[in-house]
Amino acid sequence: MQYIMPKLRQLLIGALIGDLLCVIVCLCVGWFCLPVVLGLLFGTLLSLLLFLLLGMSLAQALQKSPARAKRHVWLHYLLRMLLLGVAFYIAVTRDYLSWQAMLVPFLAEHLTLYLIGIFGKEGKRWKDSQSTDRES
């Protein structure tokens, strides 16, 4: 959990920046309305919940034998995807949620993870190891 919480904070910041950019774009083009705000909020909470569930699942799997860990991770993956499918079904079938706005936090989350990997400490360590491999 000690590794998950800092990443969760970083993802929250990335999702909120993505949400803010979406609000600004929606204001500029005249699409800003309550379903957009609710879709952004719902998507942000859901993306953070799914990341937290992923981290908890992997932490539990590390304490199991390889066969049980594989089954555990697979089952929890299916449960997370079921939760995601139900959430998108709700967003698509309800007028008070914008499913398009719900996608923004998920895209912002992925972009944040890529940027952390490239510019963060982990990415710098990877680049350093790659440069030392080329020199030898």
Quote the CA–CA distance of 47 and 104 in Å, as a whole number: 10
Dist. CA 43–CA 118, nearest whole Å: 25
| Residue range 52-106, pLDDT digits in tens | 999 999 999 999 999 999 999 999 999 999 999 999 999 999 999 999 999 999 8
| Rounded-to-integer distance, Cα 50 and Cα 56, Å | 10
Instruction: Give the pLDDT score at 117.
Output: 81
Pair 97, 36: CB distance under 8 Å: no
- Residue 49: pLDDT above 80? yes
Cβ 98 vs Cβ 38: under 8 Å: yes
DSSP calls for 12-78: HHHHHHHHHHHHHHHHHHT---HHHHHHHHHHHHHHHHHHHHHHHHHHHHTTS-HHHHHHHHHHHHH
Residue 30 Rama label (left phi>0; alpha psi -120 to 50; beta) = left
**Taking residues 9-29, what's their average pLDDT?**
91
* Residue-level pLDDT at 109: 86
